[in-house]
């Protein structure tokens, strides 16, 4: 077992894990933050996307030990109390989801995209969400949500 510590959603957390524990398992099973989802076994679906030191990453494709000492944000770390993050609010407003299973990953990827691009276009959003698979919506409302959410994030700066 290996001792690890990291900052998750602004709080210091510690744990003792087997090296083979995936970061997403640590987040869901040790920290009980079950908003981060696991939608596949093959690192393809993006439901588990979180932010690691400011970059979006698939938490199913990282070992928990690799995240030792890093700063992690999960979907639970976005809202300010009862007030949703602008990207979450945009997904709600634009009906950017149906079953909602992929949504945590979509929102985390979308925020990273908005943070790293000046002006998002539909093309950039569609390319940028390549690593996130939704099996319900056909992506149309997701793209609308991300564009709206990015604008709202900029307006809130």
Partner 1 sequence: MYEFNYDKANSAADAASKLAASDDGKVLAGGQTLIPTMKQRLAAPEDVIDLASAGLSGIAVDGDIVVIGAMTTHATVASSSDVQSVIPALAELAGNIGDNQVRTRGTIGGSIANNDPAADYPAACMGLGATIITTKRGLSAEEFFTGLFETALDEDEIITAVKFPKVDSANYQKFPNPASRYALAGVFVAKTGSEVRVAVTGAGNDGVFRAHKLEEALAANFSADVVDISPMPEDSMIEDLHASAAYRKNLIGVMTKRAVQAC
Among residues 11, 131, 147, 37, the alpha carbon closest in space to that of 86 is found at: 147
- From first CA to last CA, the distance across the chain in angstroms is 43
Q: Of the listed pieces 12-20, 76-84, 87-95, 143-151, which binds partner 1 according to CB under 8 A?
A: 12-20
d(CA 13, CA 37): 20
* Residue of 6, 33, 49, 107 interacting with partner 1 (CB under 8 A): 49
The reply on whether position 115 binds partner 1 by CB under 8 A is no
* Residue of 80, 130, 156, 157 interacting with partner 1 (CB under 8 A): 130
For 134, phi then psi, to 5°, come to -120, 130
* Residue of 9, 13, 15, 65 interacting with partner 1 (CB under 8 A): 65
Residue 41 or 83: the one with the smaller Cβ distance to partner 1 is 41
Q: Are 96 and 145 in contact (CB under 8 A)?
A: yes
Residue 96 burial class via C-beta count within 10 angstroms: exposed 0-12, middle 13-18, buried 19 and up = buried
* Residue of 27, 47, 63, 111 interacting with partner 1 (CB under 8 A): 63
Please give the residue ranges that form the binding site for partner 1 (CB under 8 A): 2, 18-20, 22, 41-44, 46, 49, 52, 55-58, 60-63, 65-66, 109, 112-113, 128, 130-131
């Amino acid at each position: 077992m290996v001792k690890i510590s990291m900052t998750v959603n602004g709080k210091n957390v510690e744990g003792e894990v087997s090296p083979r524990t995936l970061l997403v398992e640590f987040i869901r099973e040790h920290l009980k933050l079950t908003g981060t989802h696991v939608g596949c076994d093959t690192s393809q679906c993006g439901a588990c996307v979180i932010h690691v030191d400011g970059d979006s990453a698939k938490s199913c494709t990282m070992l928990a030990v690799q995240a030792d000492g890093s700063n992690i944000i999960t979907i639970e770390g976005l809202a300010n109390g009862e007030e949703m993050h602008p990207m979450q609010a945009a997904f709600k407003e634009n009906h950017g989801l149906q079953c909602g299973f992929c949504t945590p990953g979509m929102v985390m990827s979308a925020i990273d995209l908005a943070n790293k691009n000046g002006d998002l276009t539909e093309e950039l959003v569609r390319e940028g969400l390549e690593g996130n698979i939704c099996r319900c919506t056909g992506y149309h409302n997701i793209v609308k949500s991300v564009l709206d959410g990015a604008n709202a994030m900029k307006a809130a700066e």
